[in-house]
Amino acid sequence: MEITGLDLKKEVIEECQKKAEQYGYEHLHFISGDISEYQTQDPVHMVISLHACDTATDYAIYHAIQLGSLVVLSVPCCQHELNQQMGSQVFPILSRYGIIKERTTALMTDAIRGNLLEYSGYRTQLLEFIDMEHSPKNILIRAVRTKLSKERREKALKEAEELIQAFGFRPMLYCLLQKEKVNG
């Protein structure tokens, strides 16, 4: 089995590749690049995304779905996208206080991601990854591709769309999946 690490930062990739070689990990390779450009003929068993900032998590999840990954593990970070989109017209109390708005939109972002993974055929859980005393970025999205009923998938999409519409959001993962639906 081959393991490929991917990151945009060349210095991180160089350091990781040195360590893999130093410790004799022959099946562990690191590539500098964007997941949206990553291609392989080999089956993808697992995609792990750790602290990919803002919409980078959405791209990682989207491409995991496109690559047919059996498992998706994601620890999101810096969910700014919906924070910037949330106006004060709907539930102004949620946007009045910066910290409340930030945490609310971060939770909404990950709830939408979870439901969109369900819609895409993954049994999904959102779990506490690390205790809050160590980091507020402590949600792990764990998704396993499985056969879900059409009803369950459609319900997950409907719930995500209701939240998106209620707040006028345009989350990246939803946009990517909708673009595929239109073009595919």
Tens-of-pLDDT digits for all 184 residues of the chain? 889 998 888 999 999 999 999 999 999 999 998 887 888 888 999 999 887 777 889 999 999 999 999 999 999 877 788 888 987 777 889 989 989 999 999 999 999 999 999 999 999 999 987 776 766 667 999 999 999 999 999 999 999 999 999 999 999 999 999 987 766 5
Say what the pLDDT of residue 86 is. Answer: 87
Is residue 94 within 8 Å of residue 104, measured between CB atoms?
yes
Looking at residue 184, its pLDDT comes to 57
Nearest C-alpha neighbor of 156 from the set 113, 93, 96, 105: 113
For residue 175, the model assigns a pLDDT of: 96
Burial class (CB in 10 A: 0-12, 13-18, 19+), 5: middle
127-150 in b/e form (b: 16+ CB < 10 A) is eebeeeeeeeeebbbbbbbeebee
- Residues 162-180 as b or e (16 or more Cβ within 10 Å = b): ebbeebebebbbbebbeee
HSE-up (13 A, CA, CB side) for residue 92? 2
pLDDT of residue 79: 79
| CA 119 – CA 28 distance, rounded (Å) | 32
Quote the pLDDT of residue 141: 96
pTM (whole model) above 0.75: yes
Q: Report the alpha-carbon distance of residue 13 to residue 86 in Å, rounded.
A: 36
What is the per-residue pLDDT for 111? 96
Burial of 29 (0-12, 13-18, 19+ CB in 10 A): middle
Asked whether the beta carbons of 153 and 118 are under 8 A apart, the reply is yes
Distance CA 75, CA 50 (A): 5
Determine the pLDDT at residue 16.
94
Q: Report d(CA 74, CA 169) in Å as an integer.
A: 21
